[in-house]
Amino acid sequence: MPSSRSALDRTGRVAIGSIAVAAAVLGLKYAAYLTTGSVALYSDALESIVNVLTGMVALAAILVSARPPDKNHPFGHTKAEYVSAVIEGALIIVASLLIFREAYEALIEPRPLKDVAQGLGLNGLATALNGLWSWFLISRGRAWRSPALAADGWHLLTDVATSIGVFVGFALAAVTGWTILDPVIAIAVAINILWAGYRITLSSMSGLMDESVDAEIQERIRHAIKASGEGALEAHDIRTRRAARATFIEFHLVVPGAMTVEAAHAICDRLEAALEAEIEGSEVVIHVEPEHKAKRKGALRL
Ligand code: ZN
Ligand code: ZN
């Protein structure tokens, strides 16, 4: 894969950018919490600590997953990204538990809110910064097929959504003097964070469990085999799995039993080239069989 080195450079740069943005957002949101004493703003700030930590985990994973295949890891190191996303999910769940605890204390002993306007200004600025960065991460994560990057982006986007809710709720609590609203908002934020952690963990798990590529890509694979399989009789047992940027494709190719190895190998090379051109980052393994191995059901006629 000739692009792996440049992929390291750009995703590595993005990961460093994420850490810098998260640190700036953390500073602003924590200042908003210290200014106001609001548990809701505390919950918002705590998410940013998670972002700084997971940014570092993600950077480490990107550095590992960009390493080319070696003797001990002949399929490459791309699954490190899924491991990073699972750790991120776990950290998000821990953050939600910390917020539950703080909110519980504030529920028992309500705290007065101070310097509301200043707190709102600091928190709003941080949220705008996060919004811009999450949009950037999601679009890059999709374009580069990096689940860790996309997971970071989606997580940040849930921050933005909840931050807007926190912003409005905190303003309401301050204006009405109904301080119980403050820990109630924090609990709502914690539930939301818990849900995001669950989703990120689950989607990374399916990557670790070798889930097939989605139906649209499977159809493109079948189409490419059909278009370039001239000379062979059929293809069957097509199996796919994905590890971040890499897509592994394997199948059985039935050829006339009397065909020379030379000719069968030429068909295989043609199919491999066609698939690698159609599916970016694909690695193809073909098992050649004589015609009596042909299947009646589920085979792709060529
Ligand atoms: Zn077979
Ligand atoms: Zn060969």
We report the CATH number of the domain holding residue 53 as 1.20.1510.10
Which ligand is the nearest neighbour of the Cα of 270? 2
Distance 264 CA to ligand 2 centre (A): 10
Domain finish residue from 176, 208, 240: 208
User: Residues 113, 172: contact at Cβ < 8 Å?
Assistant: no
Same domain assignment for residues 204 and 226 = no
Q: Give the tokens for residue 15.
A: 């990961």
Q: Give the tokens for residue 65.
A: 């997953």
Distance 280 CA to ligand 1 centre (A): 26
CA 38/CA 26 separation, integer angstroms? 15
Same domain assignment for residues 55 and 180 = yes
Residue 149: what residue type? L
Same domain assignment for residues 178 and 268 = no
Distance 242 CA to ligand 2 centre (A): 22
Distance 266 CA to ligand 2 centre (A): 8
Q: CB under 8 Å to 9, separation ≥6 — which residues?
A: none
Distance 273 CA to ligand 2 centre (A): 11
Which ligand is the nearest neighbour of the Cα of 262? 2
User: Residues 42, 186: contact at Cβ < 8 Å?
Assistant: yes
Distance 286 CA to ligand 2 centre (A): 10
What is the pLDDT at residue 255?
96
Same domain assignment for residues 104 and 247 = no
Same domain assignment for residues 255 and 295 = yes
Share of the chain above pLDDT 90, in %: 40
Which ligand is the nearest neighbour of the Cα of 237? 1
Q: What is the domain-level CATH number for residue 236?
A: 3.30.70.1350
Same domain assignment for residues 13 and 134 = yes
User: Residues 302, 229: contact at Cβ < 8 Å?
Assistant: yes
Q: At what angle do helices 181-208 and 80-108 cross, to 10 degrees?
A: 160
Same domain assignment for residues 232 and 122 = no
Domain finish residue from 208, 239, 265: 208
Same domain assignment for residues 222 and 82 = no
Counted domains in the chain: 2
- pLDDT by residue for the chain (302 residues), tens only, comes to 444 455 557 777 888 898 999 999 999 999 999 999 899 999 888 878 777 877 777 787 778 877 888 888 888 887 777 887 788 788 888 888 889 998 998 899 887 888 989 999 999 999 999 999 999 989 988 888 877 678 778 878 877 887 888 888 888 988 898 888 899 989 988 888 888 788 878 877 877 888 888 899 999 999 999 999 999 999 999 999 987 678 999 999 999 999 999 999 999 999 999 999 999 889 999 999 999 988 878 889 98
pTM of this prediction?
Answer: 0.62
What is the pLDDT at residue 8?
55
What is the pLDDT at residue 243?
77
Distance 223 CA to ligand 2 centre (A): 22
Same domain assignment for residues 171 and 223 = no
Domain that holds residue 279: 215-301
Strands 246-255 and 300-301, sheet pairing: unpaired
Same domain assignment for residues 17 and 150 = yes
Which ligand is the nearest neighbour of the Cα of 292? 1
What is the pLDDT at residue 6?
52
Q: Give the tokens for residue 134.
A: 């999450």
Same domain assignment for residues 154 and 11 = yes
Same domain assignment for residues 92 and 219 = no
Q: Which residues surround ligand 1, an ion (CB under 5 A)?
A: 252, 289, 293
CA 258/CA 261 separation, integer angstroms? 9
| Three-class secondary structure of residue 283 per DSSP | strand
Domain finish residue from 164, 191, 208: 208
Distance 283 CA to ligand 2 centre (A): 13
Strands 300-301 and 282-290, sheet pairing: unpaired
CA 55/CA 20 separation, integer angstroms? 9
Q: Which residues of 227-260 are buried (b: 16+ CB within 10 A; e: fewer)?
A: ebbeebbbbbebebbbbbbbbbbebbbbbeeebe
